[in-house]
A and B are shown apart, each in its own frame.
Chain A
Amino acid sequence: MPNRRRFLVLTAASLLPAAGRLVRPALAQAATGHASEFVKSLGDKLVAVVNGPGSDREKREKLTQIIDSAVDVDGVARFCLGRFWRNASPEQQKRYTELFHQVLVTNITSKLGEYQGVRFTMGRAQQRDDTEVVATVVERPNNPPTNVDWITSNTGGSPKIIDVIAEGTSLRLTQRSDYASYLSHNNNSIDALINAMRQQIAQAG
């Protein structure tokens, strides 16, 4: 029955590309599913702390833990210094990165009151280059709903947040242009930036 065999082979061959097409989105879906789960659990944790009981200081400690475990803060810090990172001495890089951690936590905790009663809904997740983009809608009292995309990267082995995009505006790009402008108006002095950051943390106290 050569005819039958040929038929089978042909059928199998014609199915292969289709199978390949089925497998590949499935793989991508698995990856983005992972990212979705990660963002969902991170969001749940953040909402639980923000809306939960406890003093501001306790909340600050909890938030610091969550941020340090879920966000690639060192990477974001380096990105935000842009071209000035290479000009900085190792000592300056170290001090800047430490301060950046504190500024990030301070900025987030200073919004605790404003975020009281926050809710979020999950949107779709998409693969984009080597990152996954997870869309959410964040709703807080008194404010219109905001589209927030979480950019996660797996390069370090476990998923980490590398950027947050609110209504099309990237947190790290905005921060970088803030620092770049500050530096260009202060003789490109990294020490001046470090001092300004220190002052900012002291003021928020």
Chain B
Amino acid sequence: MRAVIRRHLLVITAVLLSNLGGCATPPPADDTEAVAEFKETNDSLEPTNRAIYAFNDGLDTVIMRPAATAYRFIVPPPVRAGIHNVLSNLGTPVQLSNDMLEGKPRRAGDTTMRFLINTTVGVLGLFDVAKEWGYPDHDADFGMTLALWGLPDGPFLFLPVFGPSGPRDALGLGVNTAMDPFTWVGQGVAVRALDWSRYGFSGLDQRERHLDDVDSIKKTALDPYATFRSLYRQHRLAQIEDLRRDKRATIPVWFPQSGAPDTVIYSPAISPAY
């Protein structure tokens, strides 16, 4: 059995390696519109990325999608919501660190209040009481922090297992893991088992939440890879725009507001780039 697995791994590695270094061929220089599009797409490693996409897609078809479908079938919605909330509550240290690195005190305050309320009143994070009390959740990760600091996203990368990314977001992913106290705290079999079950449930939770969307994209897109690439980048851009636009004052709501704008100017993050 182990030999079979090893042979399969070898084949996969060989396929990946033979495609590594495969670069997308730029269009002829005289076709200026095609060249502009090629630059906007910013996917110079496209052949390699597509190979990894195919690999992930196979992995998803055989493991993740069936597991997530079973998870949806077996676990009733309120329990799934509870598990999602607990996982989200466990993400507090990373979220709070990034809120602070981004210099967004109101976001850091939201995160702190959410943790305090949901861990106590929300029974160890099972219920998202804080949301009802006016402390909504928001996204925060080191990739977004780097973006706010001015680092561009760079060429598109499709990571094995993790999926769509780029140099900035891949670095962010690594730093996020390093920032997470759970990566460092404790040792022994029990802690490791807890760590891995957390990763496992995170994967199940994320995949289950996107079951319908991913199915429908694969069904309706002519080129699912290009569609996922575009969706990923648009979504990241929107997250970063939300973060950039969040200029809420640090004065509490009950304190007389002076000069704090009461309306946020709305402009959806649309970039013609994709």
- The residues of A with any CB-CB pair to B shorter than 8 Å are 83, 103, 107, 110-111, 114, 124, 126, 128, 133, 140-144, 149, 151, 165, 167-170, 173-174, 177-182, 184-185, 193, 196-197, 200, 204
The residue on B at minimum CB distance from A103 is: B220
Residues on A with C-beta less than 8 A from B266 are: 124, 126, 128, 133
Which B residues from 211 to 262 make CB contacts under 8 A with A?
211-213, 216, 219-223, 225-227, 229-231, 234-235, 237-239, 241-242
Contact residues in A for B54 (Cβ distance below 8 Å)? none
Residues of B within 8 Å of A142, CB to CB, are 72, 77, 211-212
Q: When chains A and B are docked, how far (Å) is the Cα of A128 from the Cα of B268?
A: 9
Kindly state the separation between the CA atoms of A128 and B269 in the bound complex, as whole angstroms: 12
Q: Chain B contacts of A114 at CB under 8 A?
A: 212, 216
A-B CB proximity, top 6 nearest: A168-B238, A181-B226, A177-B230, A126-B266, A169-B234, A182-B222
Q: B209 interface residue, CB < 8 Å from A?
A: yes
Verify B212–A170 contact, CB threshold 8 A.
no
Judge whether B234 and A180 touch: CB under 8 Å: no
- A110-B219, A169-B238 given. 15 additional CB < 8 A pairs? A107-B216, A126-B266, A142-B77, A142-B211, A142-B212, A149-B268, A165-B270, A173-B230, A178-B226, A178-B227, A180-B226, A181-B41, A181-B223, A184-B34, A200-B220
User: What distance in Å separates the Cβ of B211 from its nearest Cβ neighbour in chain A?
Assistant: 8
A160 CB to nearest B CB, Å: 18
Q: Tell me how far the C-beta of A101 lies from the nearest C-beta in chain B, rounded to whole angstroms.
A: 15
Q: Is B37 an interface residue (CB 8 A)?
A: yes
Residues B216 and A110 in contact, CB atoms below 8 Å apart: yes
Question: 1/0 per position for B61-78, CB-CB distance to A under 8 A?
Answer: 000000000001000010
Q: Which of B72-86 contact A (CB under 8 A)?
A: 72, 77
Question: Assuming A128-B266, A168-B235, A168-B269, is B230 touching A178 (CB within 8 A)?
Answer: yes
- The answer to the question of B199 belonging to the interface, with a C-beta cut-off of 8 Å to chain A, is no
Residues of B within 8 A of A (CB): 27, 33-34, 37, 41, 72, 77, 209, 211-213, 216, 219-223, 225-227, 229-231, 234-235, 237-239, 241-242, 266-270, 272, 274
Task: Check if A177 sits within 8 Å of B72, measured CB to CB.
Answer: no
Give the dominant DSSP class at A's interface: mixed
Known: A111-B216, A114-B212. A167 touches B238 (CB 8 A): yes
Q: Chain B residues near A151 (CB, 8 Å)?
A: 268
The distance in angstroms between the C-alpha atoms of A143 and B68, with both chains bound, is 13
Instruction: Decide: A174 near B227, CB < 8 A? Known: A168-B234, A180-B37.
Output: yes
Q: Which of B216, B222, B270 contacts A178 (CB 8 A)?
A: B222
18 A-B contacts (beta carbon < 8 Å): A128-B266, A142-B212, A165-B268, A167-B235, A168-B234, A168-B237, A168-B238, A168-B239, A168-B241, A169-B234, A169-B238, A174-B234, A177-B227, A177-B229, A178-B227, A180-B226, A185-B223, A193-B222
Q: Bound complex: CA of A20 vs CA of B178, how far in Å?
A: 55
User: What is the CA–CA distance of A204 and B234 in the complex, to the nearest angstrom?
Assistant: 27
